[in-house]
Amino acid sequence: MNITDYGIVPNYENLPGIPARITAQHKERYEIVCQHGITHARLKTKEYFVDNQDFPTTGDFVMINYIDNGDSQIIATLPRRTFFSRREPGPVPRDQAVAANFDYVFIMQSLNQDFNPKRLERYLTLAWQSGATPVILLTKADLVDDYWEFLTQVERVSAGVNTHVVSAHTGFGLLRLNAYLQPGKTVVFLGSSGVGKSSLVNALAGEEIMAVSAIREDDSKGRHTTTHRQLIRLNSGVMIIDTPGMRELGMWDVSEGLADAFVDVEAFLGKCRFSDCCHEREPGCAIRNAIATGELELSRWESYQKLSQEAISKEEMLRRKNEWHKGVAKFTRQRKKEIW
Ligand code: GDP
Ligand code: ZN
């Protein structure tokens, strides 16, 4: 077993321990893969609670003290190339990564019922923000006669992101995905329940490695407690991440991804006659002009406005992060009191 089979390991020179990658997370226990194979590990408390390190998540590369006959100790989270995070509810809101170090985000919508350009915009924003490259997959091609109209609608919101029409059932379009599914690459699937994520994984793997069923969709409880591997390495050498957290990704921190998802809108921003233009009725408003001439679609502008209102500023994000660290420190002090 070679850890480099699991992707590009970030530089860990001069760090103690050996590198490993997180393949699943179950509350406090992690499943990991390292040069000794697949094993389990837990966080080393001092390193994580006292040093305020980011807790590892599925896909993270970490450093471990390997323990042969028990759980190894995770001592450091290596820097992430890309990640998705989610806001954890609770008295002290904190952001928790739900997947890390992936190369591509396959944004999936099904052609028969799930298709929704607005949601696609949201997913695109999230994907750009993660730092990885989005790819749009329109699934269940076998269920529609004609997908050109769908592609036209996608083009209006995708700003040039690669889009593929596929069918896990017939295999239609799957060969084109080989461009992304290269050894050492990691892919995450983003999309509503039922769009065919598991079916596609199975079709790509050439075997049934994920449960596909209509029943499972209603059984959301059972889903969360299943302890299947969340990072899977296919025989082709490509990794696929599918974590429960991915299914609940919110939109609370889209600010950084907005610029990339809305290049067409951003092109007109800052070009109005008045620098404090509200883009309502002011003369010389570049946005209103662009909408009037058809260069910019009104619905795109409306989506942009809506999302930028929801987006949280970087300062706000930092403030929340600090609050979270304070919360953890307090928690640790309390725990120490209880123990001593
Ligand atoms: P997930 O919830 O996104 O993982 O979706 P599943 O893979 O579990 O699929 C949900 C349902 O859609 C199942 O009934 C699948 O059989 C069906 N499905 C998935 N892919 C396709 C496809 O390419 N064509 C058709 N007709 N049905 C599909
Ligand atoms: Zn304006």
* Element containing residue 292 per DSSP (H, E): helix 286-293
* Count of beta carbons in the 10 Å neighbourhood of residue 44: 16
Alpha helices in 134-273 (DSSP H): 148-158, 197-205, 214-218, 220-225, 255-261, 263-266
The confidence score (pLDDT) of residue 220 equals 40
For residues 142 and 166, the answer to whether their CB atoms sit within 8 Å is: no
Query: Which residues partner with 64 through β-bridges?
Result: 18, 74
Nearest CA to ligand 1 atom 21: 140
Nearest CA to ligand 1 atom 5: 196
* Count of beta carbons in the 10 Å neighbourhood of residue 326: 12
Asked if residue 193 has its Cβ within 6 Å of ligand 1, the reply is yes
Encoded tokens for 66: 């390997």
Distance, CA 198 to ligand 1 centroid (Å)? 7
Alpha helices in 57-193 (DSSP H): 117-130, 148-158
- Render the burial of 228-254: b for 16+ CB within 10 Å, e for the rest: ebbbbbbeeebbbbbbebbbebebbbb
Could you say which ligand is closest to the alpha carbon of residue 285? 2
Task: Tell me the whole-structure pTM to 2 decimals.
Answer: 0.76
Local structure of 325: helix, strand or coil: helix
Asked if residue 158 has its Cβ within 6 Å of ligand 1, the reply is no
For residues 74 and 28, the answer to whether their CB atoms sit within 8 Å is: no
Please tell me what DSSP assigns to residue 81: S
Nearest CA to ligand 1 atom 17: 196
Could you say which ligand is closest to the alpha carbon of residue 272? 2
Could you say which ligand is closest to the alpha carbon of residue 287? 2
Q: Which residues of the chain have pLDDT under 50?
A: 213-227, 251-253, 339-340
Please tell me what DSSP assigns to residue 169: T
- Render pLDDT for 190-233 as a digit per residue (tens, 0 to 9): 887 778 888 999 999 887 777 764 444 444 433 333 446 789 99
Encoded tokens for 86: 């989610």
The confidence score (pLDDT) of residue 329 equals 58
Nearest atom in ligand 1 to the alpha carbon of residue 191 is 3
- Render pLDDT for 289-338 as a digit per residue (tens, 0 to 9): 999 999 998 988 988 887 776 655 555 555 655 665 555 555 555 555 55
Nearest atom in ligand 1 to the alpha carbon of residue 172 is 23
The confidence score (pLDDT) of residue 1 equals 78
The confidence score (pLDDT) of residue 222 equals 38
Nearest CA to ligand 1 atom 22: 140
Could you say which ligand is closest to the alpha carbon of residue 292? 2
Asked if residue 195 has its Cβ within 6 Å of ligand 1, the reply is yes
For residues 164 and 106, the answer to whether their CB atoms sit within 8 Å is: no
CA distances from 331 to 91, 101, 155, 276, 326 (A): 12, 29, 48, 45, 9
Sheet holding 104-110, edge to edge: 163-165, 133-139, 104-110, 186-190, 239-241, 231-233
Nearest CA to ligand 1 atom 26: 140
Instruction: Give the C-alpha separation, 87 to 255, whole Å.
Output: 14
Asked if residue 175 has its Cβ within 6 Å of ligand 1, the reply is no
**Contact partners, residue 305, CB within 8 Å, separation at least 6:** none
Nearest atom in ligand 1 to the alpha carbon of residue 166 is 23
Burial class (CB in 10 A: 0-12, 13-18, 19+), 219: exposed
Distance, CA 268 to ligand 1 centroid (Å)? 40
Asked if residue 214 has its Cβ within 6 Å of ligand 1, the reply is yes
